[in-house]
Amino acid sequence: MRTLTKTHIVVPSPIGPLTLVREDGALVRLAMAPPTALDPEALGEQSGEGFDDVVRQLGEYFAAERTSFELPLRPAGSDFELAVWDQLTRIPYGETRSYGHVARAVGEPGGAQAVGAANGRNPIAVVVPCHRVIGADGSLVGFGGGLPRKRFLLDLEQRGDRLF
């Protein structure tokens, strides 16, 4: 059996420190929390090696110079969660979709609550843009990083300000 190599790094951002976790070259986690708040076994060793692309692309995103990410991703989840997260990557930069819209797009009309739960378990925040999903009435609801961060990310994408 092959052993997977996990490493992590913490990088600053306008929304606070981001903990990035790689496993055999793919990004498996981007958490808006310090490593001390996460399961140590899920982090692997701390090492900045191999994170150049993701750090550069995040910097470009926060500087409003990048509208999508080109990174190898390997989120872990159920088939439904993976379908939802894939759909999130299809929401254009600067736009939003409702939970119901995402539910219909993954073939689960009436599954808005299930989409909300999957959204809340998104392990690769920002890169897999769960912040672009809003309530049917246009309200900001449910964001694991907190609603102020969600508002910040949406405002960044709509204004295109240079912030980082």
DSSP 8-state class, residue 124: B
**155 has catalytic annotation:** no
Distance CA 135, CA 98 (A): 5
Give the active site residue among 18, 28, 58, 130.
130
Distance CA 58, CA 73 (A): 14
SS3 category, 23: strand
Cα within 13 Å of Cα(26), Cβ side: 9
| H helix or E strand, kind and range, residue 30 | strand 26-31
Distance CA 30, CA 12 (A): 12
Could you list the active site residues?
130
